Structure 1
Amino acid sequence: MHTATAGNHKRIALSVTTDKVPLVSLTATVADIEKVLDTEKIDQFETINYIYILGADRKLKGIASIKEIFRNPKNTVISKIMETNLITLRAHSPQEKAAMLAIKHNIKAVPVVDPEDRFLGVIPSDKILEILHREHVEDVLYEVGVGRFTNPVVELIHASALEHIQKRLPWLIVGLLGGILAAYIVSGFDHLVEELILLAAFLPAIVYIGDAVGAQAQTIMIRSLAIDKDLPIGNYALREVVVNSFMGLIIGAFAGIASQIFWGNIVLAFIVSTSFLLTILLSSVIAILLPLIFEKVKVDPAIGSGPIATVVRDILSILIYFTVASIFLGWV
């Protein structure tokens, strides 16, 4: 098993790569492969889902599944039946990319190559599952404002109280500062609340919908980026605008009609419906921009789905709501 040395290299593909896999040349036959997989030799391999075919320069030329190989006559040359449309990963790529490639292309192991495309080994299925589980736990922790553990699966249970405080307190402070700023903004619109007291009643709903829509859109965005680094942002953003415009119109109309029915205030109905629509649209824009910004500065986009995104969405939702209220109340 290859290992990484520096601490910041522990999460690269090479550190979970094994070279204990069946290797054959381009001229090998099915009969030759049977000998490679002889019962006395098979224990030396860590994974045998695929046979890896190498050229003289140790470059990966093809892959063939065991099932596909033994469907053919024993004299069949492997180069005739191997898959040449290869899915590979560079040695220093993030481990998470290996897991995403395995899922996207439905493969049980991911080949790892050096910058010259020489074969180094594969990331087997058990390591792929381990990576997926660890990344999932980390993303969930990021979303609720818990900092990174080296090995979250183990450390969540065994870390000391001090370590937990160090990982959890900083983002709570960020959230508190955001809450104080939000309270300051609300206090600047107290004259509107005095003029129409029902504005205060809808504020929690406006903030909640902004957070809910943003969380949905941002989770989808982050997962999409993880699976496809070359995500067509223009098409993706257009789809999100269409989806969220539709949802905003429905939720805004429903909220406006409900406020008119229960409180009989047409001005409030217009304020609420317009605010819901604009809040949903802006939340979807933030959901796209924040992960892209984090990706650009080489920071895990999942960090942007936690307290930072919540604070930004909450403050902008409040500003939208009271700005819309100021405009409508200024007309009457």
Structure 2
Amino acid sequence: MPVTETDYLELIKNKKWRVLRRALHELDSLEAAELVENASKGNKVILFRLLTREQTKDVFKLLPHSEQEDVIEGLAENFQKLARLLSDIKPDDRTAFFEELPGDIAQRLIQKLTPEEQKISIQLLSYPKDSIGRLMTPEFVAIKAEFTVAEAFAHIREHGKDSETLNVIYVIDDNWKLIDDVTIKELILAPPGQIVDDLINHRFVSLNALDDQETAISVFKDYDRVALPVLSKEGVLLGIVTFDDIMDVIEEESTEDFHKFGSVQNASKNPLKERIFNLYKNRIVWLVLLVFMNIFSGAALASFEDVIQSFVALVFFLPLLIDSGGNAGSQSATLMIRYLALGEIQISDWYKLIGRELLVSFLLGITMAISIAAVASFRAPEIIIVVCIAMVINVMLGSLIGLLLPFIFTKLKIDPATASAPLVTSLSDICGVLIYFSLATRLLEF
């Protein structure tokens, strides 16, 4: 019968450490991580201390950053256990943890590492934030081109235990410059006496340590690799980046863009544990700015007070019209941001897209105008022409705003995700009000 979370709490309460240890050791890493995450701060550390050494490495990596900090804080009194934990974590995972901490705390923890691990951590942290150098791990296997296949396997058996991956083996010269890479499958199928140099073609794909992490995402997407070598500008092999590391970056970038698209700054990873003031601070700036932008909509409405009094039915269709323009603009902005992020379009392509977007939005506007005409024919047939024309123009203009804003922001060196849905909607609302009531004033001969 499986042990429940309540059972673990009971074992801790009764101090049945031996039984608790055995139960924990039977869990897989995901189950153990979930148990540690859901425990109170004090119990969290107790559970973590009773895990096996192999479990601690895997569980720590799976925990959210805030939970990792709780574990580190709880283990700080036990220098030996803390030093061992930090040394056991993969260099790239340890770097990701350190860079989330305040500098003074990270520095104190680095001092607890072995001299060799200290050197690796300091080297990785010396690369610019969000660079590929921060993402790479120095744990890989490299062989010489003059090795025989048998010698290569002997080298892999001796040095491959701590390698991040053995799917790809890297071939270097005496100065650690990368010559090529060879898959483990190619080595297995080759005769033991064959020279490694005979298996390579000197064509390989690599990353530069100083490039942005988004470059790595693009290269992994284009070449479908499980790992890629990271080189210095001189071509020296410094480390590797694996696919699982890239998946973490993609998730982080997507989350960041999602928050920006919703006009949220520095969103908390766990709102249940974040301070109320921080949650408020992350959202209030854009909301206040958008309030002032929407004042223009109110001012526009006020200027058409007379026509509204004469044709009250115009107000019935107002929310529908301006929302349609905003929705069309948000769709367009979402697509453009996505295409720019994937590199499928460049900033210089903006003028090529305008004609296509105008045609598509015209067809969308016509379709939506037909739909709204059916409603207007029953509700207010005298303003059908105004409503239909306004719908077509609003959808086209909203789409154009959504198309251009990401390009403008990119040109200004601002993240295009900042061309968020609320911003597109607010601009479309202002333009929509002006267009709708200007048409009404002209066409209704007011």
Taking structure 2 as the reference length, the TM-score comes to 0.64
- C-alpha change, 1:46 and 1:187, in structure 2 (3 Å) is same
Question: What is the match of residue 143 of structure 1?
Answer: 261
Instruction: Flag the structure with larger Rg.
Output: 2
Question: What is the match of residue 10 of structure 1?
Answer: 129
Q: Distance in 2 between matches of 1:311 and 1:218?
A: 13
Question: What is the match of residue 143 of structure 2?
Answer: 24
Query: Does the CA-based 8 Å contact 1:63-1:82 persist in structure 2?
Result: no
Q: Percent identity?
A: 26
Q: Distance in 1 between matches of 2:376 and 2:313?
A: 10
Q: Distance in 2 between matches of 1:68 and 1:305?
A: 48
1:263 lines up with 2:384 in the alignment: no
Question: What is the match of residue 95 of structure 1?
Answer: 213
Gaps of 5+ in 1: none
Question: What is the match of residue 311 of structure 2?
Answer: 196
Question: What is the match of residue 112 of structure 1?
Answer: 230
Question: What is the match of residue 126 of structure 1?
Answer: 244
Q: 5 Å matches for 1:1-332? A: 1=91, 2-5=123-126, 9-28=128-147, 30-38=149-157, 40-54=158-172, 58-67=176-185, 69-74=187-192, 75=194, 77=196, 80-81=199-200, 84=203, 86=205, 88-149=206-267, 152-153=268-269, 156-228=271-343, 231=346, 232-260=349-377, 262-263=378-379, 265=381, 268-330=383-445
- C-alpha change, 1:62 and 1:285, in structure 2 (3 Å) is farther
Query: Does the CA-based 8 Å contact 1:142-1:306 persist in structure 2?
Result: no
Task: State the aligned residue count.
Answer: 322
Q: Distance in 2 between matches of 1:278 and 1:79?
A: 66
Q: Deviation at 1:45?
A: 0.9
Q: Distance in 2 between matches of 1:77 and 1:291?
A: 49
SS for the counterpart of 1:122 is: strand
Q: Deviation at 1:307?
A: 3.2
Q: Could you tell which deviates more after superposition, 305-314 or 210-219? A: 305-314
Q: Deviations over 1:31-53 (max 9, x none)?
A: 44433432x43222123332334
Q: Deviation at 1:157?
A: 4.2
- C-alpha change, 1:121 and 1:168, in structure 2 (3 Å) is same
Taking structure 1 as the reference length, the TM-score comes to 0.83
- C-alpha change, 1:185 and 1:76, in structure 2 (3 Å) is farther
- C-alpha change, 1:187 and 1:29, in structure 2 (3 Å) is farther
SS for the counterpart of 2:161 is: helix
Question: What is the match of residue 58 of structure 2?
Answer: none
Name which structure has the greater RCO, CA cutoff 8 Å, separation 6+: 1
Q: Distance in 2 between matches of 1:309 and 1:206?
A: 15
Q: Deviation at 1:119?
A: 3.5
Q: Distance in 2 between matches of 1:286 and 1:70?
A: 57
Q: Deviation at 1:103?
A: 3.2
- C-alpha change, 1:91 and 1:319, in structure 2 (3 Å) is farther
